[in-house]
Chains A and B, each alone.
Chain A
Amino acid sequence: MTSSTLPSMPVERTTLFDPPQEYTALREEHPVTKVRFPNGSTGWLVSRFEEGSEVFAHPKMSARRPRHDTPEGEVAEAGNDAPFNPTFVMMDEPDHSQYRRLLSGRFTPKSIAKNLQPYLDRIVDEHLDAIEKGPKVFDFVEALSLPIPCLVICELLGVPYADRDGFHSATEQMMDLANSREERDKGAHWLIDYITRLVAEKRRTGVQDGILAELIATADDEGSFLKDDEVIGMGVLLLFAGHDTTASMLGLSTLTLLTHPEQRRDLEEHPEKIGPAVEELLRYLTIVQFGLGRVALEDVEIGGQQIAAGDLVVVAMPAANRDPRAFDAPDAPDFDRKMTRHLAFGYGVHQCLGQNVARAELKTVLPRLFERFPNLHLAVAPEEVPMDSLGTNYAVKKLMLRR
């Protein structure tokens, strides 16, 4: 089959929360199948849970992959298009672990509870206070779902308090889809420059506050293991990986609760269910909407299909997380679901490093929001909420609420 006759990867949604409808048939009939991706490149699409997990866990599936979800024509090689060093996201073992382990101590549930939770509690309450003092109708995205993840990254990296407003404006400029491509790139470059200056500043002063300072210290202890561009790369990576994703989950989770009164009541009456509720929202929403790619390093077989060395394989996590083989009644959010794991954070050694930070943010914001504003509801009809269905992460662009 030539690439022009291959079916396209499904991208169009017909409902607010479900992945594209074509996945239902694809998952049953062609769980591992050749497709054309949104940017015109071709490869395999995996839509079942077990097969998807197998791809992520496979030692011969490399994380050094080209993009597949950029617009038609942009088939960039891994890393070449990034204006910063993407470090370990694109590495395989054993290099990947060597880098990831420099950060992982900061992302354990224990470290987060001790070092981050008190700050998180404070900023969430401050932002809820500000909403309470402001107009009755407000944009949740601007008031909470963008600033909280941004401040959390600032705290983790060790961005001085005085710089946090500027840092946040630049992230807003970068992420606001109403801005032109150039405007957004300008925001991204400001942030990369800022982190570059911050690393230089921390090296100069030798202060010990946050991840960047710790990484610099590791570099000094162990000779020249980490170069400055790698420290900068890790800082930028944490910002890019941790901000948009968590903001998207905060917005969509709130929209889900506001449009599912039964689940909202369940959570209000049983605050102890917040842990399982957050896991279920992660599964149900699976915001990394076009999935993640890997490249086969040698010929491998997945789900009965022969995949050749060099082939790109994309796991459609939104479809895999709705696989009825793995989840009963997968299309309904159910906070009593007995679920061991899902693929919203990926799987295998690259599974999200920041997952426990994201959980902490969701578990702090959601209950407090509904506790503080018991009458909270949508200020527009659900179908009028503007959605971002083109970005890497599915998200609400704006979420007007009445408190």
Chain B
Amino acid sequence: MKISLDVDKCCGAGQCVLAAPDVFDQRDEDGIVVLLDENPPAEQLGQVREAAAVCPAAVIEVQE
């Protein structure tokens, strides 16, 4: 699985962190998304897909 982020679009809603806390974090100063793991293990795929679907600004792209 490969994850790419369009960080400029991020509005810091924090939805990805709630959906996949092992893969996404937010910067302390402005809440912008931080990728903790660029190639997370396959068992995280469900959560990562959910994070991509729930992101209000369509920042997250997942390639399997």
| Chain A residues engaging chain B, CB cutoff 8 angstroms | 56-57, 97, 100-102, 104-111, 340-341, 346-353, 355-356
Contact = CB atoms under 8 A, between A and B. Distances in A.
Main secondary structure of the interface of A (DSSP, over half): helix
6 contacts: A109-B17, A110-B26, A110-B28, A340-B50, A348-B57, A351-B56
Nearest to A356: B14
Contacts of B15: 341
Interface string B5-49: 000010111110110000001111111100000000000000000
B54 A108 contact: no
Given A102-B30, A105-B27, A349-B56, 6 more contacts: A56-B56, A101-B12, A106-B31, A108-B28, A111-B28, A356-B14
B53 interface: yes
B31 A108 contact: yes
Contacts of A57: 56-58
- In order of increasing CB-CB distance, the 7 nearest A-B pairs are A104-B12, A104-B31, A351-B56, A101-B30, A349-B11, A108-B26, A341-B54
A102 B11 CA distance: 11
Nearest to A347: B56
Contacts of A350: 11
Contacts of B13: 351-353, 355
Interface size classification for chain B = 20 to 34
Contacts of A349: 9, 11, 56-57
Contact of A107 (B14, B25, B53, B56): B14
Given A101-B30, A101-B31, A101-B32, A108 B17 contact: yes
Contacts of A351: 11, 13, 56-57
A347 B56 CA distance: 5
Nearest to A339: B54
Given A97-B11, A108-B14, A356-B14, A348 B53 contact: no
Interface hub of A57, A347, A352 (most chain B Cβ within 10 A): A347
A105 B58 CA distance: 19
A387 to B, nearest CB: 30
Contact of B31 (A107, A340, A341, A347): A107
A100 B12 contact: yes
Nearest to A275: B18
A109 B14 contact: yes
B11 A104 contact: yes
Given A101-B32, A105-B30, A105-B31, A340 B14 contact: no
A340 B19 CA distance: 9
Contacts of B57: 57, 348-349, 351
B28 to A, nearest CB: 6
A183 to B, nearest CB: 36
Contact of B11 (A100, A106, A110, A356): A100
B13 to A, nearest CB: 5
Nearest to A348: B56
A107 B17 contact: no
Contacts of A109: 14, 17-18
A100 B11 CA distance: 7
Contacts of A111: 28, 31
A144 B51 CA distance: 33
B23 to A, nearest CB: 14
B31 to A, nearest CB: 3
A102 B30 CA distance: 6
A353 B30 CA distance: 12
A240 B23 CA distance: 34
Contacts of B31: 101, 104-108, 111
A355 B58 CA distance: 18
A356 B27 CA distance: 16
Nearest to B50: A340
A108 B58 CA distance: 18
Contacts of A346: 56
Q: Which of B25, B30, B32 has the most CB of A within 10 A?
A: B30
Contacts of B25: 110
A19 B9 CA distance: 33
Contacts of B17: 108-110
B11 to A, nearest CB: 4
